[in-house]
Structures are given as C-alpha cells and as structure tokens.
C-alpha cells in the first residue's frame, strides 16, 4: 500500500529545498535529485515517492529504514503515554492534598 495518497505529488515537489554551501548532503535521490541529510531519510523518500522504480537493494534499504522508523515511533508513543500517565497522577496527587 502506497502512502503517496496523503500528499499530492505536485505539492510535495513544489516545496523548495536548498542546501547550504558548506554542507554536503549524505545522499541524493537518484530519480529527482533531492538532497537528504542522512541515507536513512533518502531510503524512506525512495520507498514512498519512487516505489515502482526501486531495485532490490533500494527496496531492502527502504524496508530496513521503515522498520527502524516504526520502532522509533513506537518508543516515542510509549514515552508520550508515560508522560500523560505521570501528568494525570501528578495532578491527582496534588489535588488530593489541596482538597484534604
Ligand atoms: Zn526522489
């Protein structure tokens, strides 16, 4: 399933990007020449924007980068849930002392 439907390709391609002169991009998209600060971001871009043109190596890099991103997002969600729980019980604890 492609995630391209979330964004119109014309809208995404119309976003201007620039790289400062003293910075070298880690990787560039071989299809649209867009620069990326990390190889992982380039692999994610290739899988989401150029899914049909990928060779086996690029597809494996995309799947690996996608798995890593999914794991990091899961950990981020766990941290957010823990923050909500701590905030809820913190306010409840404080409220009990004020009310009593
Ligand atoms: Zn591209």
pLDDT digits (tens, 9 = 90+) for 6-38: 556 666 667 777 888 888 889 999 999 899 999
Q: Is the dihedral of CA 84, 85, 87, 91 positive or negative?
A: positive
C-alpha 85 – ligand 1 centre gap (Å): 40
CA dist 6 and 13 (Å) reads 14
Domain ranges of the chain: 3-99
Q: Model's pTM, two decimal places?
A: 0.71
29 CA → ligand 1 middle, Å: 5
User: What CA–CA distance (Å, rounded) separates 47 from 78?
Assistant: 26
> CA-to-CA distance for 87 and 81, rounded, in angstroms?
10
43-98 per-position pLDDT tens digit: 999 999 999 999 999 999 999 999 999 999 999 999 999 999 999 999 999 999 88
Distance 68 CA to ligand 1 centre (A): 20
Q: For residues 25 and 35, is the Cβ–Cβ distance under 8 A?
A: yes
* Residue 48 CA, ligand 1 centroid: distance in Å: 9
């Amino acid at each position: 399933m492609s995630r391209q439907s979330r964004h119109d390709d014309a809208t995404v391609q119309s976003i201007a990007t620039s790289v400062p002169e003293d910075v070298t991009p880690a990787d560039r998209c071989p299809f649209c020449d867009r620069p990326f600060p990390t190889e992982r971001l380039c692999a994610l871009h290739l899988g989401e924007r150029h899914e049909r043109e990928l060779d086996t190596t690029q597809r494996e890099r995309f799947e690996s980068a996608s798995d890593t991103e999914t794991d990091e997002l899961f950990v981020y969600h766990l941290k957010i849930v823990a923050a909500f729980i701590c905030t809820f019980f913190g306010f409840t604890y404080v409220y009990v002392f004020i009310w009593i």
